Structures are given as structure tokens and as C-alpha cells.
């Protein structure tokens, strides 16, 4: 088992990316980085289960929007998947994206679409203390960390979760 130090730049960039995304976007419940697939999996919690037709429409709009966004950027998407998992009266929407074509603009687009389509059902951890300046700093960090992760090979799986107003990141 490899040893990691606290100042390990490889781990640090991945941890900082997950923290920045969770802090900036309180709609994201959990985020996972999988080094084998070089992908991020973002999970959103819903307070009720959308109908199959409603989810199919959401999935179509999300995928078409991501593809259109990347077509305008001149980038070819490798991995873009959206899934719905149901548990009793709650649901989880999971978005899987490859790190190499993911951008902060795309993340913002996906969040905006989810907010518009799912309105009051999207569970959000509101943080009233975040100022506009803080949000802009988080966006800049997201952009920098994504660029860093595209250039480095990160070998450690990471998971970031939101719990009681805190953001926690663990290696798996």
C-alpha cells in the first residue's frame, strides 16, 4: 500500500478540486474521483422521485446541453452519463463525467439545468455565509484544479461528502 504525505501535490489537487466543487455548488451531495476511469461522479439528492417521463426529459436536456456546450468549445466528450436511483421516497441523480473534457462552465451549466428542471425537489445545503467573492474564488480554484488534474496522473480514489454543513474528503 503506497504511503501518502499531507504535502503530496498529486493528492492535494484532487482533494482541493472536490472541496471547491462541494463548497461552490451546495446542490451536490457527494462527489467521487475514480482514477481508473479518470472520471468525476457527482450525486444530487431529490426530495421526491421524478416520473420516468420527467427523468427521461431531464436526461435528454442535460446530455444535449453538455454535447452542445462541448461542440461550441471544440472538445469531444469521452464520458457523459446520467442515472437515476430511487430509494423509498427520495431519489439520487448521478452524473458521470470524464475529467479531461470537464470544465467549470459545464459544471455551472449542469447545476443551472438541474435547478430549473427540479426546482424545489433538489436538496440543497444552503450556506448563507458565502459571499459573492468567496464563490468567485471557488470557481477560480475549480478551474485551476481541473487544469492541474488534466495534466497529472492521480492514482488515488477520492470521495467528497457533505455532512451537517461541512465538506469532508476521504481517499478510498
* Per-residue pLDDT, 126: 74
**Per-chain mean pLDDT for the chain:** 87
What is the DSSP track for the chain?
A: -----TT-HHHHHHHHHHHHHHHH-TTEEEEEEETTTTEEEEEEEESSPPPHHHHHHHHHHHHHHHHHHHHHHT---S-EEEEEEEETTEEEEEEEEETTT--HHHHHHHHHHHHHHHGGGB-----TT--HHHHHHHHHHHHHHHHHHHHS---S-EEEEEETTEEEEEE-
pLDDT digits (tens, 9 = 90+) for 47-71: 999 999 999 999 999 999 999 999 9
- Whether residue 2 is predicted with pLDDT greater than 70 in this model: the reply is no
Per-residue pLDDT, 33 = 94
> Which tens digits make up the pLDDT trace of 5-25?
444 555 678 888 999 999 899
In this prediction, residue 22 carries a pLDDT of 92
Task: For residue range 120-137, list pLDDT tens digits in order.
Answer: 899 998 766 666 777 788
Provide the pLDDT confidence category of residue 113 given band limits of 50, 70 and 90. very high
Residue 46 pLDDT more than 50? yes
Instruction: Break the chain into its structural domains and give their ranges.
Output: 9-171
Amino acid at each position: 500500500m503506497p504511503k501518502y504525505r499531507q504535502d503530496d501535490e498529486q493528492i492535494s489537487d484532487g482533494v482541493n478540486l472536490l472541496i471547491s466543487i462541494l463548497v461552490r455548488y451546495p446542490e451536490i451531495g457527494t462527489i467521487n474521483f475514480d482514477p481508473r476511469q479518470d472520471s468525476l461522479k457527482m450525486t444530487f439528492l431529490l426530495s421526491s422521485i421524478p416520473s420516468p417521463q420527467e427523468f427521461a426529459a431531464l436526461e435528454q436536456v442535460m446530455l444535449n446541453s453538455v454535447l452542445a456546450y462541448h461542440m461550441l468549445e471544440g472538445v469531444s466528450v469521452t464520458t457523459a452519463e446520467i442515472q437515476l436511483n430511487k430509494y423509498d421516497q427520495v431519489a439520487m441523480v448521478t452524473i458521470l463525467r470524464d475529467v479531461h473534457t470537464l470544465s467549470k462552465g459545464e459544471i455551472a451549466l449542469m447545476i443551472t439545468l438541474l435547478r430549473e428542471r427540479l426546482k424545489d425537489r433538489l436538496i440543497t445545503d444552503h450556506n448563507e455565509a458565502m459571499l459573492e467573492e468567496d464563490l468567485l474564488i471557488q470557481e477560480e480554484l475549480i478551474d485551476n484544479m481541473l487544469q492541474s488534474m488534466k495534466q497529472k496522473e492521480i492514482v488515488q480514489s477520492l470521495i467528497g461528502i457533505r455532512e451537517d454543513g461541512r465538506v469532508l474528503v476521504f481517499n478510498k
